[in-house]
Amino acid sequence: MAAKTLRNYVGGAFLPPGNTFDKISPVDGSLVAQVAEADRNTVDQAVAAARKAVDGAWGNTSVPERVALLRRIADRVEARFDDLLAAEVADTGKPLALARELDVARAVANFRAFADVTAARGLDSFLTELPDGRRALNYALRKPLGVVGIIVPWNLPLLLLTWKLAPALAGGNAVVIKPSEETPSSATLLAEICAEAGVPDGVVNVVHGFGPDSAGEWLTTHPDLDGVTFTGESATGAAIMRAVAPHVRPVSFELGGKNAAIVFADADLSRTVDGLARSIFTNTGQVCLCTERVYLQRPVFDEVVAGLADRARALRPGRPDDPSTTTGPLISLAHREKVLSYYRLAESEGATTVTGGGVPSLAGSLDRGAWIEPTLWTGLPHDARAAREEVFGPVAALIPFDTEEEATRLANDTRYGLAAAVWTRDLERGHRVAGRMRVGMSWVNTWFLRDLRSPFGGVGLSGIGREGGEHSLHFYTEPTNVCVAL
């Protein structure tokens, strides 16, 4: 059976494929699809189509019209849930249950959440009264930012795309989407779904390709782009900043993390080990919010290490549709080699590998996939590279501490600042320590629990700006103040 071809979507139509590249399954190395690589002309066409849309009728749609459209998209995503689920699993190899409960369900929620926020949104207004008796009414209008480049990563491709697309459309923008070359399927299908929901031609465009000297570079350097939103690694974010700098375009970045968890001796250890296992191993550690540094108060160090090691050994790799599968592969063999290089580096820096540290032996065609063992380290010095650089795999360094002050200092001693988690029964201390974390998001006795209206993002190498609710809408719209003398 011939592999499907994923094409670029520009101005409301799928284009002839031209040159293609292969999308390979991380599960068994089989061919998932052939993907049309956009050339520079295709990117130019996509930006021009978006500009025509945003400067035309779409840019003048009313808030109720855009809210209704978001709700229709959510309904169509829900109606095609199984199609999106199959696309996401084929690209990423993650277990079916995880993709169903996290990726596709959240895509539906993203469109509905931003429809709700947009429908309830008000405008800033002020009655101005000056000492000389003059009076005026000041009010703010919010207009679309314009043509927005949306660049999304491969770890949660549909979730993170809809997290950006929904508020972009809510603000009246037109977009050019560049999905990761590793996960092109769900973005292509979402373009089709948007058309089914009535999104006008040119409002949503999808171009496939790579970064340098390909669609990513041609999009971010395009002179007719009005802004870029990107989720991915910090080095790529820095490259995009350089690309947009000559045109002084705004950016919204959610970048990498070397996230810490702090476990105090009074924590509910059963609940804590459950939470830590999720935060270390979910999606094979390929989530920006995953925990890679765990600081354990010395009296409970051995017990928590043993509990996490049991959880790691209990994870079962396998095909996504096998109900017994509880962990998937890494996204590619190239990424596996990067993660394995950190496994080797950690041991050279003095770490003891408690469990894992290599590649599992799997039967049949699975042996050609990008599988890796969940891994835990003890004895790794705090200043070791493996303890300071983002690995983006199912791994964590387990480090003892004695005092609250020491744990806070160690957790904050990083160039990143995305997320942290504090585990303790003492809620006064939980509030205190969580508030002292130099991060964008702090959890107490939980992880990955989100209200979609709350601010999402990081500091330092972890990003610029915030997403979620009003915070997203501020990026995708520009305010104009109107002052009327009374």
Q: Is 254 known to be catalytic?
A: yes
Q: Which residue type, as a one-letter code, is found at position 459?
A: V
Out of 88, 194, 288, 373, the active site residue is 288
Q: Is 78 known to be catalytic?
A: no
Could you give the strand order of the β-sheet that contains 4-6, starting from the edge strand earlier in sequence? 4-6, 31-36, 20-24
Out of 37, 182, 217, 254, the active site residue is 254
478 strand-pairing partners: 143
Instruction: List the catalytic residues.
Output: 254, 288
